[in-house]
Chain A
Amino acid sequence: MLTARRLGKRYGEKRVLRGIDLALPRGGFLVVTGPNGSGKTTLLRICAGLAQPTEGAIERMAERAQVGYLGHEPLVYRELTALENLELYGRLYRVPERRERIGMLLERYGLWEARHERVASYSRGMTQRLALCRVTLHEPQLLVLDEPYSALDEAGVELLDAQLAELRGESTFVLATHDPARVEPLASGRLALA
């Protein structure tokens, strides 16, 4: 699914990544760890296709429509409601049976009651849960998740655990985390950045 050879990324003078090799098969689960500033976010952005490496090469066997990315920002519009946000992404990703799928996801992540309220009024945990809805909305084959647990409340953590366990094997994962122990049972590969 994902192959990288001697991947490097530099922003002007600042070197962020150097000499990364990875080979992630379909259905694999790669856990990326490392201290802050080690380039985890940059690596994940490259995996998702948001950034291009400055050295080396990366091959991705998934089209844009099949990739789901969760970054530090939830990538939802604060002035729109949860429903409007998911409607937008649903249309852009041509999600089949859009309404039903959105309804199902909102309900599953406990946001159904708040679906007509603006995201600006949500708690941090709720926003992150909405972000998870957004990521899984189009049933992506490649999921790139950057510290998905960090902004979640307790209920959200359980939901995410369940979701990961359910999708494990069907989808391919790249997950960056500060708490590798949590996802250790799911991992098929590990990458530690200096």
Chain B
Amino acid sequence: MGYARDVGALARKDLLLELRARDTLPAMLLFVASVFVVFHFALPGTPSRLETSGLLWVAILFTALLGLGRAFVPEREQRTLDGLVLAPCDRSAIWLAKSLATLAFLVAAEVVALPLYALFFHSIGGATVAAVLLADLGICAVGTFLGAMAVATRARDLILPLLFLPLAMPIVVGAVGASVVEAPGRYLGFLALYDLLFAVVCWASFEYVVSE
């Protein structure tokens, strides 16, 4: 299980870096709260459950983008990606570890965001929580992958949302669907399928993103 150990070592490094920097998670929390307030003013009156569900997912998506933009910053600024690429480990381990670390932070942000949403707008059911977890997997897998691509460009964090949003569209459909319908099974299944499909594609092609 050398691969698992590599992922563990790398994920540990990513978590440590983020905990030490101490800026991304607070920023995400503050951002999500502010966005909810903006939503209130953007949709005056009492928006329906369907409308606010949509808003929840817009909020999660953009909060995630905030965090994802920072994911590869240490590797880029200190060029430590070279060090990781030189190591004998499978390059996909770099992606997997970074995704898991980002996932941890996204979930941490949602632990605050979801109760806040329930407070401001509508209550949340089990299906929504399941949708959040499944969507998080897809967001982190694809977002981290694209974050590594973005880091190699001149445009950097400018280009990440452009790359990410078209790919995130199915996640939004699945997540909003699961949040509002009575029988969320189909939408949750779709999210799981998306996660599986794109995780495999990301895992298989990360090698080419970081090496020449």
Contacts and interface: CB of A to CB of B under 8 A. Distances in A.
Touching chains A and B, CB distance < 8 Å: yes
10 contacts: A50-B85, A64-B87, A69-B82, A75-B78, A75-B79, A76-B78, A77-B13, A88-B10, A88-B12, A89-B83
A80 interface: yes
A79 B86 contact: no
Interface of A: 48-52, 63-65, 67, 69, 71, 73, 75-80, 84, 87-89, 91-94, 118, 134
Q: Which interface class (under 10, 10 to 19, 20 to 34, 35 or more) fits B?
A: 20 to 34
Sorted nearest first, the 3 A-B pairs with minimum C-beta distance are A75-B83, A65-B88, A91-B9
Interface of B: 2, 5-6, 9-10, 12-13, 16-17, 20-21, 74, 78-80, 82-89, 212
Contacts of B82: 50, 69, 71, 73, 75
A92 B80 contact: no
Contacts of A63: 88
B212 A77 contact: no
A173 to B, nearest CB: 17
Listed residue (A77, A92, A94, A134) with the most chain B CB atoms within 10 angstroms of its CB: A92
Contacts of B84: 92
Contacts of B78: 73, 75-78
Given A73-B79, A73-B82, A79-B74, A92 B87 contact: yes
A180 B12 CA distance: 41
Contacts of B85: 50
A67 B87 CA distance: 9
Contacts of B17: 77, 79-80
B86 A80 contact: no
B79 A79 contact: no
Contacts of B13: 77, 80, 84, 88
